[in-house]
Every structure is written in C-alpha cells, then in structure tokens.
Amino acid sequence: MKKVLTIAGSDCSGGAGIQADIKTITVHKMYAMSVITALTAQNTTGVYGIRETDAEFVAKQMDCVFTDIRPDAVKIGMIPNEKIIRVIAEKLRTYQVRDVVLDPVMISTSGSRLMSKDAQEALKEELFSLAAVVTPNLMEAEALCGFSVSTPCEMERAAEKIACYGSGAVLLKGGHLADGADDLLYEKGKYIWFSSKRIENPNTHGTGCTLSSAIACNLAAGYALERAIKNAKNYLTGALQDGLDLGAGSGPLNHMYRLPPFANGYPFR
C-alpha cells in the first residue's frame, strides 16, 4: 500500500487542513499519516482560534513517521511560524524526502491569517527548494511576487517569478478568478493550463487542501506531475460538484462522491 504524509493544521470542522487531507488520501486507497503543526478552532463561518504546536514537537512527530513507516509522498499545508518552517525543512533534508507538494497556506478564504507575515520569507528560503511543486492561490501568489495577479497573463508572469524561488514547478490555482477555474502549471519553462468550468457552489471550504493532497497521492502512485495534477483536479471537481451543503457558511466538499452507497445497513460483515 502507498503511504502519504500530510504536514498541516487541524480543522476541527473537518473541511480543510489535516482532516480534508486524510479523507482525500483514504479515498485514494492510500495509508494516511499526519504531522500536526497547529490546532485551529474553525468552522464553515470562519477561524476562531489557533494554537501552534511547539517546533520541537513537530520535529518529534516527523522523526516518528520517517524512522518507521516512510511515506511515498508528502503534502505540506498550514505552517503557522518560522520556527516550524525551519524544523520541517531540516527534517525533510535529513530524511532526503522527495515528492513534496507544498501548499503555501497564508490566509484562509474567510480572511484569517494562518501563517505569520514574517514567516513568508522563511517559507520561500527554506521550503520551496525542497518541493516538487508549490500550489499558491491568487492571493498567495500576490504575496509571493509582490504584484497583482488576477488575469491569465498575470498568472503566467507570477508563476514564472515564483519558480525562481527554487521549487521544481509551480501550480498557480485559479479558484478565485472572476471567470472559470483554470489552474496554471509552470514547469521546465513551459506553461500548461488545466481548464475547468466554474462550478456555482458556495461550499468551497478546503478546495486547496484537497487538491494538494490529491496531487501527493497521484505522485505516490507514480504519475508524472502533469498527469498527477490532471487526476487531482478531476477528483476535486467531482467532490465540489457533488453539492454537499453543510453548515451556515462556506461548507466542505464531499470526498466520498465516488463511493457506492451502502445497501442494507452496515457495510462490513
């Protein structure tokens, strides 16, 4: 069985973060492991509190995972501060980890800061060069390259600039575009667009987390990056299209949309 590790924050409401990642990995029929960088108190209406994990304890979790059940791919999401960024980078180097998908989570769509502002530089310096691909959304791309990113042309310019920070590739996500939901991959000097129709569903909590962990699963399965992203985007689109509607705000996706419904009660006998 393939094994995938998520290094991220916990979302108690189950829509984003560690919980979205574990659901995604499990539905891909892979073994999920987690290193928790922070606890968040959040739901579909917003983020109401954050407790950061001690950096030493993040290190301990990573040692436990890598010295025993070594993952085939790693997804990194919310990292709240610089100290934890440095610890994660050191451990990734020590254990010579490849196939890292880095989602540079900075601010939730509901507007809460999930990473301290001064940690952004450390993220670029320490982690980008260890990632096979980084997956910023439009706002994260703006923070990383310092200019406005809201059109396909600006997306191409931004992806190329972000690639200079040393990651293998950049997937710039277009979920917040005014029109459509086209994502752009910049890899080895080439632009590859992944086009998709915009789904009119306000329940998009955890789309970025789900996409990045699905890419990690596809890399673990041995797919090359372009194919891994195509498969992951198809998975994400299905989970969004399913139209689950939970909570009073922007609700979560349905990760189980591909699973057959249980007939006659309890499914495992």
Ligand X SMILES: Nc1ncnc2c1ncn2[C@@H]1O[C@H](COP(=O)(O)OP(=O)(O)O)[C@@H](O)[C@H]1O
Residues of the shown chain interacting with ligand LCLJCK34 in the complex, contacts defined by CB under 6 A: 8-9, 11, 16-17, 40, 77-78, 105, 108-109, 114, 204-209
Which residue intervals of the chain are DSSP H helices? 17-27, 55-66, 82-94, 119-122, 138-145, 152-163, 207-220, 225-241
* Catalytic site includes residue 204: yes
**Shortest distance, CB of residue 152 to ligand X, whole angstroms?**
13
Residue 208 touches ligand X, criterion: CB under 6 A = yes
Nearer to ligand X, 134 or 236 (CB): 236
Selecting among 6, 53, 135, 207, the annotated active-site residue is 207
Nearer to ligand LCLJCK34, 83 or 95 (CB): 83
Selecting among 173, 217, 233, 251, the annotated active-site residue is 173
Exactly one of 120, 196, 230, 257 binds ligand X (CB under 6 A); that residue is 196
> Structure tokens of 88?
């994660």
Q: How many CB atoms lie within 10 A of CB 185?
A: 20
> Structure tokens of 33?
């492991």
- State how far the Cα of 194 lies from the Cα of 191, in Å rounded to an integer: 10
Binding partner selected for residue 72 from ligand X, ligand LCLJCK34, none, CB under the kind-specific 5 to 8 Å limit: none
Q: Which residue from 21, 26, 74 is spatially nearest to 211, judged by alpha carbons?
A: 21
Residue 233 touches ligand X, criterion: CB under 6 A = yes
Q: Give me the count of residues in the chain.
A: 269
- State how far the Cα of 55 lies from the Cα of 236, in Å rounded to an integer: 31
> Structure tokens of 190?
């080439």
Residue 204 touches ligand X, criterion: CB under 6 A = yes
Binding partner selected for residue 25 from ligand X, ligand LCLJCK34, none, CB under the kind-specific 5 to 8 Å limit: none
* Contact indicator for 4, 30 with CB cutoff of 8 Å: yes
Binding partner selected for residue 17 from ligand LCLJCK34, ligand X, none, CB under the kind-specific 5 to 8 Å limit: ligand LCLJCK34
3-11 and 31-43 strand pairing: parallel
Q: How far is residue 261 from each of residues 241, 253, 266, measured CA to CA in Å?
A: 17, 17, 11
* Residues 155-174 close enough to bind ligand X by CB under 6 A: 173-174
Residue 183 touches ligand X, criterion: CB under 6 A = yes
Residue 181 touches ligand X, criterion: CB under 6 A = yes
Selecting among 174, 209, 210, 251, the annotated active-site residue is 209
Nearer to ligand LCLJCK34, 97 or 211 (CB): 211
- State how far the Cα of 232 lies from the Cα of 217, in Å rounded to an integer: 8
Q: Which residues are designated catalytic?
A: 173, 204, 206-209
